[in-house]
Structure 1
Amino acid sequence: MNLERPPFHLLPAAPTTPAKPHVFDIHGVRIQDDYAWLKAENWREVLKDPTVLDSEIRTCLEEENAYAKAAFSGTEEFQARLVAEMRGRIKEDDSTVPEPDGPFAYFTRYREGGQHPLVCRQPRDGGPETIMLDGDKEAEGQPFFDLGGADHSPDHRLIAWGADIKGSEYFTIRVRNLENGTDLPDEVRQTSGGAVWLNDSSGFYYVELDENHRPVRVKRHLLGSSTDRDQVIYEEQDPGFFVKLGVTQSDAFVLIEASDHETSEIWLLDRADASASPRLVEPRTPQLKYDVEHHGDSLIILTNADGSEDFKIVTAPVATPGRTHWKDLVPYRPGTMILSMVALARYLVRLERENANPRVVLRDFATGREEAVAFNEEAYSLGFSAGYEFDTDVIRYHYSSMTTPSEVMDYDLRTGERVLRKRQEVPSGHNPADYVTRRLFATAPDGEQVPISLVHRRGIALDGSAPCLLYGYGSYGMSMPASFRTGVLSLVDRGFVYAIAHIRGGTEKGWRWYMDGKREKKPNTFTDFIACGEALIDAGYTSRGRIVAHGGSAGGMLMGAAANLAPDLFAGIIAEVPFVDVLNTMLDSELPLTPPEWPEWGNPGADEAAFRSILSYSPYDNVKPQSYPAILSLAGLTDPRVTYWEPAKWVARLRATMTGGGPILFKLNMEAGHAGAAGRFDRLEEVALAYTFALKCIGGFQS
């Protein structure tokens, strides 16, 4: 049945954002930015307390929300139906498979109707559960709640948990006594959210954020002491490097990693020594990346050293871990990218990918024998987890495809036995045979073959009549897995083809694929995406003007660039938290992410070539007097990653410049940040809005 809804062209007049010319000169070029004033001067304070936002800016944002609400007037019932439909595919009282650690097995679960996770444990050999932390209870009365880390102590008596109640990713860490369920007086503010315990459970390490929201300091907190006395263990001096904590699978070492997008440096801390000082593995060298595991007297190191573009695995003595002592264990193989690894007592397990499909490889330390776990579908997702324990012969892998719900299997490394521990339930029903998943390749302008993963209902006509939701990201070396997504079935069941463009800037085809989509080669990302749209048209999956593009964050930048370059290809564009004001952001070294982003995009202030490259594609700076497709931009006021003013400025310039098309809609969550709503069902409301927009773009709804 077709449902009649008010078309976009019946909207009231769009808000007009005042233009306040701001001009600056750089590298001999004059830049005029009429909407620079939308960046609040007190933006740091706004991240912590949104109520201090300038009233004129707030009024503009509220007008945008009112306009977006008007655009969706009459669709409320349909959106609610979509939410109910998507919610019906979620097992509401779902839980993870318990992970054993000593006397207990730890897991998270949701109660029916609950928005937030419950962090639980039970005796290892079975028995009643204990709810260590109730996310729903902690979220009561909070407009926003995001649970960060929830890390139990080695003696199993305590749990360190972090929470963000603003959406700005400032996490406060508290410590809960698991015997009586109360929190200790210890309260550590302005952290990244996770904790790594000392082996004797007397305290923990954490990462502190600086005044510019950058994770730069590792501190050691001893229980019962004032946070003012927390010792600084490591402090990063380069604003281009962020700090994070990890721990080896052996539990012997805490890992302090300082890195940007192409260089890393790791320090070891003896986890058993509460007074330990960090010890450097290998000094940072530009474009040298490495990760560290521990096995006996050796470190196991995953690295791109010696021209190993897709990475190799080496060993080094713990006593002398520097690069001069590195010896190959798993040699570099061009085209096969090693993504991650873990060292167990008797086995090395690694995840690698070749031509956009992953596999898990198991290696016996004693014999060197290897065995691979892979699947035969054209496109699928695969990962593994080693759990908490080191002395184990069991790993857990996770498999799904765009038609196959997730399966969790335990794999016995000694016997090869596989035990299904969990298959994702779809309560409303799902038959994989009703769907088809395919892997296509698009030819980019320079001849590169760009993979596309797609899913559609079996039996649809491949005559170009189907609408298509085309998703893309293509930055930071992140790959987009061809995994099962229950939400997209709401579009697929209405006749959509859902496709993922594995464009350059990711690592689907190795590290080279990433390098060919960054800095001066960034435009390859955009032309790859457009080529994917054209390939879907040529193959009969859809037609010009029937594609809705979708991307978020750096993928939102992709959306803005694609809209500038090929507006007639798309019926609509969904840009979530879009990084569209690339030039101005990369020129502002005080913003949280700017210095660490320079290796990804270039430093336009110091490098004229980088400036001209960014200026050539930055979506905000390349808005043209042309007709644009309908655009929906979604963002969060307290987002420290893509600040609210980027999409606000972009929307204002689009409306002031475009000669037709649209509408341009902007919905800002006034109580959330980069990830949007934190509750699992609240998030469905945002997805329903985006899917309603997609359906409106292609000409209406079909129930």
Structure 2
Amino acid sequence: MTDKQAVPVAKKVPSTRVHHGDEVVDNYEWLREKDDPEVISFLEAQNALTEADTAELADLRAAIYGEIKSRTQETDMSVPSRRGQYWCYARTVEGQQYALRCRAPISGDDDWDPPTVSGDDPLPGEQVLLDSNLDAEGTDFYSLGAFSVTDDGTMLAYSVDKVGDERYTLRFKDLRSGELLTETVENTAPGATWSHDGRHIFYLTVDDAWRPDTVWRHDLGAGTDDVKVFHEPDERFWVGIGGTRSDKYLMIGLGSKITSEVHVLSADDPTGEFQVVWPRRDGVEYDVEHAVIGGEDRFLITHNENAENFELLDAPVDDPTATRVLIPHDAESRLEGVDAFADQLVLSYRRAATPRIAIADIRGAKSSSDVSFEELTFDEPLSSVGLAGNPEWAAPRLRIGYTSFIEPSEIIDLDVTSGDRILLKRQVVLGDYDPADYEQKREWVTAADGTQVPLSIVSRKGVSRPAPTLLYGYGSYEASMDPGFSIARLSLLDRGVVFVIAHIRGGGEMGRHWYENGKTLTKKNTFTDFVDSARHLVDSRATTPAQLVGEGGSAGGLLIGAVANLAPELFSGILAVVPFVDPLTSILDPSLPLTVIEWDEWGNPLEDKEVYEYMRSYSPYENVAALEYPAILALTSLNDTRVMYTEAAKWVARLQDNSTSDNAILLKTEMSAGHGGVSGRYKQWEEVAFEHAWVLRQTGAV
């Protein structure tokens, strides 16, 4: 470990904050000045410290990188999906960082059997729509935002961010000639939606707080100013634009954390006026899908008015208030949405911390009262299932994705009529990987207040306990950490590390109440659930504190930062990825990106003294104390617009000043990346190898 005397000492510049009579002196707020050379020098010095401390892991990092690379089929192809008269797919080529997005012509109208995927050769007649490797030349960072082809297949709109700040440039390519048009649209949000006629494209721009707030219409080739279609002045609401699966309607969706509103327009009338489906009402969330049932156009509305776990209604398009219940509220199942096709409806929901889908065949239905759903089941109970790429409204099969913690992901075509499942592709894992060598299971932890918290536990079979363990958690925004396979994770499992996800309150695994009991003034349940999960693992002799690392990222970084203050003795290491660890400072400043929309999640400490005091009591940064902290590795990005680098930088500076242990507190800042970290798959593998090597050291697995 690095000598503590070598740690760069951050200067202290007192900055005073006063709210609700509480005066706080912040010595490290000066680190927010991104353009200050002294700030950059501090970040670079911290990077040097991290590099020195982890230099001994260089061979291990190289080995892990090699394992990820050797297990990955680098030249590969996604299963082609039919869109119009083309098979559409993505290809990767060994040695190239980014995917190629391609299409190939279809031989006939009745051809629904996708071509066999070999991974080596292009399909006959292949057209490369976009080679991001060429597009990214000369850049340190590259992110593809929009990627949308007109219904007639002649024009491509795509957007790119080459800095990492999520500010995209929208470009257009004529797919008939291969010509890249000179007209562009600067500083857009990621998405873009074409009108039916391919003459108009809708896109979003953002306000100063990086909130998508305005929908614009660009008339391709017209040479006229873009038309402002919609603007949302309420800073709590994000704006989105898209189309129904049927392509019959364009929809603008508005959403705060607790309220939503949908505006609809016929796709045949792109210059017309959008109409509200349901006017917004505080606390009511809903979304809308278009279906044709019994020959009638219907809106399917998933909502939570007097239905905590949501219910599904349907209504005639010309009167969305004339609703009837299609799927009633269920206290045991959280309804997440419905997808409509010409012949089927697909319901997505979760029950007992597991995502599920159910399918209704509507071909013979005369009305919604004839619609009934049947759950699609799999042998492995701890798994994830959901719709995969299904771009066509009318297709004889449904494309489904399936995976678990130990089973590589599968793409399956389901024949709804016969029930036959056609395996199109299983994720290739090179080498001698055998799922039978691994095991996954569910355990339940009794939290301090008696709540049963689920754990997902993954390991190689035969691992002796107590074992090196990585405990991961998120617990915010009703996001669920579902079962999923990871090639990179095998490098931990094969070295005897047990991977555990704590499905803590604040997430969505157990229904809407699980989320409600882990936000605003119940947020501390998120942290104590994680601590109780760690104690359960230690008390049951599954692991020991010397072998346990806790990990969280973004809002999960808030979790892991709070846990470091609550129970530092339980962990050998804390891995915090782009961590939101200075939440009170951020949420008190409405001028910062994303602050106002976060008030529904955390509360508004500006206006509410109780919220202020509550956040003050758990803020990781503000509660750093003279404690024996475990080793901590914080990872951040200089250009992150979601969780600014400042949070991790301030937190680490304060930890280094206060920790009474000799354990290294490290900060690694990517100087040319955003919230998602580095771009390019090989760079990402290097970053994963860096993180895994540190985890292996801290758990004692090496």
Matches of 1:10 and 1:591 in 2, distance apart?
A: 37
CA offsets 1:98-154 (integer angstroms, 9 cap, x no match)? 111110121112111211111111123463321110011111111111111211111
1:460 equivalent in alignment to 2:463: yes
Q: 1:9 Cα deviation (Å)? A: 4.7
Within 5 Å, give how 1:201-240 maps onto structure 2. Answer: 201-226=198-223, 229-240=225-236
Matches of 1:281 and 1:671 in 2, distance apart?
A: 42
Structure 1: unaligned runs, 5 residues or longer: 1-7, 44-52
The equivalent position to 2:192 in structure 1, one of 178, 192, 195, is 195
Matches of 1:612 and 1:284 in 2, distance apart?
A: 31
1:159 equivalent in alignment to 2:162: no
CA offsets 1:4-43 (integer angstroms, 9 cap, x no match)? xxxx155661111101001121111111111111112xx6
The 8 Å contact of residues 119 and 150 in structure 1, kept in 2 or not, is answered as no
The 8 Å contact of residues 11 and 71 in structure 1, kept in 2 or not, is answered as no
The 8 Å contact of residues 378 and 438 in structure 1, kept in 2 or not, is answered as no
The equivalent position to 1:284 in structure 2, one of 277, 280, 284, is 280
Partner-residue secondary structure (3-state), 1:693: helix
Matches of 2:301 and 2:571 in 1, distance apart?
A: 41
Partner-residue secondary structure (3-state), 1:348: strand
Matches of 1:262 and 1:654 in 2, distance apart?
A: 35
The 8 Å contact of residues 2 and 53 in structure 2, kept in 1 or not, is answered as no
The equivalent position to 1:57 in structure 2, one of 28, 36, 39, is 39
The 8 Å contact of residues 216 and 236 in structure 1, kept in 2 or not, is answered as yes
Q: 1:75 Cα deviation (Å)? A: 2.1
The 8 Å contact of residues 545 and 568 in structure 1, kept in 2 or not, is answered as no
1:609–1:346 CA distance, 2 compared to 1 (3 A): same
The equivalent of 2:678 in structure 1 is 677
Matches of 1:564 and 1:186 in 2, distance apart?
A: 53
* TM-score for the superposition, normalised by structure 2: 0.94
1:302–1:479 CA distance, 2 compared to 1 (3 A): farther
The equivalent of 1:49 in structure 2 is none
Within 5 Å, give how 1:277-316 maps onto structure 2. Answer: 277-296=273-292, 297-316=296-315
The equivalent of 1:3 in structure 2 is none
* TM-score for the superposition, normalised by structure 1: 0.94
The 8 Å contact of residues 355 and 482 in structure 2, kept in 1 or not, is answered as no
Matches of 1:186 and 1:411 in 2, distance apart?
A: 42
Q: Please tell me the residue identity of whatever aligns with 1:112.
A: E
Partner-residue secondary structure (3-state), 1:86: helix
The equivalent of 2:11 in structure 1 is 18
The equivalent position to 2:24 in structure 1, one of 31, 34, 38, is 31
The equivalent of 2:531 in structure 1 is 530
Matches of 2:446 and 2:73 in 1, distance apart?
A: 40
Q: Percent identity?
A: 40
Q: Please tell me the residue identity of whatever aligns with 1:312.
A: E
Matches of 1:566 and 1:205 in 2, distance apart?
A: 49
Within 5 Å, give how 1:501-516 maps onto structure 2. Answer: 501-516=502-517
Partner-residue secondary structure (3-state), 1:620: coil
CA offsets 1:530-559 (integer angstroms, 9 cap, x no match)? 111122223332122311111110001111
The equivalent position to 2:172 in structure 1, one of 175, 180, 187, is 175
The equivalent of 2:382 in structure 1 is 379
Q: Please tell me the residue identity of whatever aligns with 1:14.
A: V
Greater alpha carbon shift after TM alignment, 294-303 vs 440-449 = 294-303
Q: 1:392 Cα deviation (Å)? A: 2.1
Q: Please tell me the residue identity of whatever aligns with 1:168.
A: D
The 8 Å contact of residues 215 and 228 in structure 2, kept in 1 or not, is answered as yes
Partner-residue secondary structure (3-state), 2:349: strand
Partner-residue secondary structure (3-state), 2:183: strand
Within 5 Å, give how 1:73-88 maps onto structure 2. Answer: 73-88=55-70
The equivalent of 1:431 in structure 2 is 434
Matches of 2:414 and 2:638 in 1, distance apart?
A: 44
The equivalent of 2:119 in structure 1 is none
Q: 1:207 Cα deviation (Å)? A: 0.7
Q: Please tell me the residue identity of whatever aligns with 2:481.
A: M
Matches of 2:76 and 2:429 in 1, distance apart?
A: 11
1:70–1:492 CA distance, 2 compared to 1 (3 A): same
Task: Output the aligned Cα RMSD.
Answer: 1.4
Matches of 1:522 and 1:278 in 2, distance apart?
A: 38
The equivalent of 1:92 in structure 2 is 74
The equivalent of 1:697 in structure 2 is 698
1:242 equivalent in alignment to 2:238: yes
The 8 Å contact of residues 505 and 522 in structure 1, kept in 2 or not, is answered as yes
Deviating above 6 A after TM superposition, structure 1's stretches of 4 or more consecutive aligned residues are none
The 8 Å contact of residues 505 and 525 in structure 2, kept in 1 or not, is answered as yes
Matches of 2:679 and 2:384 in 1, distance apart?
A: 25
The equivalent of 2:545 in structure 1 is 544
Q: Please tell me the residue identity of whatever aligns with 1:19.
A: K
The equivalent of 1:4 in structure 2 is none
The 8 Å contact of residues 285 and 305 in structure 2, kept in 1 or not, is answered as no
The equivalent of 2:138 in structure 1 is 141
1:450 equivalent in alignment to 2:446: no
Structure 2: unaligned runs, 5 residues or longer: 108-114, 116-123
Matches of 2:72 and 2:609 in 1, distance apart?
A: 51
Q: 1:574 Cα deviation (Å)? A: 0.6
1:273 equivalent in alignment to 2:269: yes
Greater alpha carbon shift after TM alignment, 373-382 vs 399-408 = 373-382
